[in-house]
Amino acid sequence: MKKYALPPVIQFVGYANSGKTTLICRVMDILTGKGLRVGTIKHHAHKLEVDQPGKDTWKHQQAGACLTSITGTNQTVIFHHTPLSLEQLLFYYQDMDLILVEGYKRAPYPKWVLIRNSAERTLAEELSHVQGVICPERLENMDIPQYTLEDASYIAEEISNTLSGTRD
């Protein structure tokens, strides 16, 4: 695969219903408010059905197209008919300032780990590149910085500082 310039990638990982999407949206709102072009990638662990039977793009796929796209006045959708790895997806984000990724726990990028309680703390302890843990309760004996969902502005500032190279 051809090499390309990759914008910074920041992950938000955790189990279902831990607040990943909520935090990403809060952080993204702050970062885009600063003029950054932010792209997102969401990992979905189940079968994905987004095209509608009977529509032209669905017919193209049924006829054997490996890649199908549709462009309208407001957006473009690309249907790739095989699952892509995170690395393959990143290719499409070259013109972004930052990529926020929801999921892909084992990927080698800086990540914020969201957990619901102390019983899930092992997730944060097992993963690499953890920048901080977001949990509603304080976790004892944890060397990783801890935050809550209410700290979105601080987390956005940490990410922004990392982008500008001024991280403390």
Tokens of 72: 């309208």
Residue ranges of the alpha helices (H) in 17-145? 20-33, 56-62, 86-90, 121-126
Check residues 111 and 73 and name the one with the higher pLDDT. Answer: 111
Within a domain: 100:
yes
Within a domain: 58:
no
CB 40, CB 100: distance < 8 Å: yes
Within a domain: 70:
no
Q: What is the CATH number of the domain that holds 119?
A: 3.40.50.300
Within a domain: 27:
yes
CA proximity to 102, closest of 47, 20, 162: 20
CA proximity to 9, closest of 130, 108, 127, 140: 108
Residue 6 neighbours by CB under 8 Å, 6+ apart: 90, 93, 94
Within a domain: 77:
no
pTM for the model: 0.87
Within a domain: 44:
yes
What confidence category does residue 48 fall into, taking pLDDT thresholds of 50, 70 and 90? low
Distance CA 167, CA 89 (A): 28
Within a domain: 72:
no
Expressed as residue numbers, the domain containing 133 is 9-48+83-165
* CB atoms inside a 10 Å sphere around CB 45: 7
What confidence category does residue 101 fall into, taking pLDDT thresholds of 50, 70 and 90? very high
Within a domain: 29:
yes
| Predicted confidence (pLDDT) per residue in 144-154, tens digit | 999 999 999 99
Number of domains in the chain: 1
Distance CA 129, CA 115 (A): 16
Tokens of 126: 């097992």
Write down the residue that tokens 């935050």 correspond to.
147
